[in-house]
Amino acid sequence: MTKLRILIADDEPLARARLLALLPKDVSLEVVAECASGTEAVEAIRRERPDIAFLDMQMPGCDGLQVVAGLAPEERPAIVFVTAHDKFAVDAFGVRAVDYVLKPFDRERLETALERAAEYVGARRADALGARIEGLLAGAGAARPPRPERLAVKADGRYVFLKFDEIVWVEAADNYVVIHTSAGDRLMPRDTLTSIEERLGPQQFTRANRSAIIRIDQVKELQPSPQGDYTILLRDGTRIPLSRNLRGRFEKFLMEG
């Protein structure tokens, strides 16, 4: 069993003690560091590499937001802000915190935050494993290609390996994406559209709008409207709006095709 490594940062000893007391007594959890300042938290996160960090918003040295800002994206654990003030909530979610817990909190509220953080950690671990698998697939049987020819995603508790030519289009759906395949399947991995776009690469796929990626050779028509907008008609009949700010890039792909 892979343990969830937890860091707690709060300048009040009683607050740290209460959080420790309310954490579930579970062998899958391990508190690897307690910090009394934001500066200590940054150092401990880099040293201990926790999976989850409970951060007070207001601490000496640097506050919770500055802790996050001081870490590179790959260094950041799942962040749960714990504070007595709700005025920081917008800022907290602006740095992609997984939860924001107001003091005083009870065991049930803390466990909810821990469940959300654990889900985030699990999804990130799955992404990392998928990326490693894609790398192995890319290196199997050939000295190169420069990038994998298949996309590995975790959906419904299983890994699915899709050839690029099996993917028709991809759309964003809250914290998930929906991958539409040529076989008519719909897969919903917990991922971001940006991450999927980077893994697919620019040779065969492009953005149609902020919420959709399409495979270029699946475009059947580009239909104008009286207002000057365009709708993309795919070969399977799907209609997708084309963003005005992406039209030039999209038309470039069509001309090259």
Distance CA(94)–CA(70), nearest Å, equals: 15
My answer on whether 250 and 156 are in the same domain is: yes
Domain termination site, one of 80, 111, 126:
126
What pLDDT score was predicted for residue 235?
Answer: 93
Question: Would 131 be classed as within a structural domain?
Answer: no
> What CATH number does the domain containing 104 carry?
3.40.50.2300
My answer on whether 119 and 14 are in the same domain is: yes
My answer on whether 14 and 104 are in the same domain is: yes
My answer on whether 56 and 100 are in the same domain is: yes
My answer on whether 114 and 154 are in the same domain is: no
Q: What is the mean pLDDT of residues 84-104?
A: 72
For the chain, helix (H) and strand (E) counts, in that order, are: 7, 15
pLDDT tens string 243-255: 877 776 666 655 5
My answer on whether 13 and 120 are in the same domain is: yes
What is the chain's mean pLDDT, rounded? 82
Could you tell me which residues come within 8 angstroms of residue 233 by beta carbon, excluding any fewer than 6 positions away?
219, 220, 221, 222, 223, 239
Higher pLDDT, 181 or 255: 181
Domain termination site, one of 110, 126, 142:
126
What pLDDT score was predicted for residue 142?
Answer: 46
Q: What is the mean pLDDT of residues 60-88?
A: 83
Block residue for tokens 């740290």: 16
My answer on whether 9 and 122 are in the same domain is: yes
Question: Would 108 be classed as within a structural domain?
Answer: yes
Question: Would 145 be classed as within a structural domain?
Answer: no
Higher pLDDT, 2 or 28: 28
pTM of the model as a whole: 0.51
My answer on whether 92 and 58 are in the same domain is: yes
Question: Would 137 be classed as within a structural domain?
Answer: no
Question: Would 162 be classed as within a structural domain?
Answer: yes
My answer on whether 117 and 154 are in the same domain is: no
Structural domain range at position 64: 4-126
Nearest to 71 by CA among 28, 41, 107: 41
Question: Would 200 be classed as within a structural domain?
Answer: yes
My answer on whether 155 and 247 are in the same domain is: yes
Percentage of residues in the chain having pLDDT higher than 90? 28
What pLDDT score was predicted for residue 124?
Answer: 72
What pLDDT score was predicted for residue 126?
Answer: 64
- Where residue 144 falls among pLDDT bands split at 50, 70, 90? very low
**What's the Rg (C-alpha) of the chain?**
22
My answer on whether 82 and 165 are in the same domain is: no
My answer on whether 12 and 67 are in the same domain is: yes
> What CATH number does the domain containing 204 carry?
2.40.50.1020
Question: Would 211 be classed as within a structural domain?
Answer: yes
Phi/psi-derived region of residue 208, left when phi > 0, alpha when psi is between -120 and 50, beta in every other case? alpha
Q: What is the mean pLDDT of residues 201-207?
A: 84
Q: For the chain, what is the domain count?
A: 2
Question: Would 54 be classed as within a structural domain?
Answer: yes
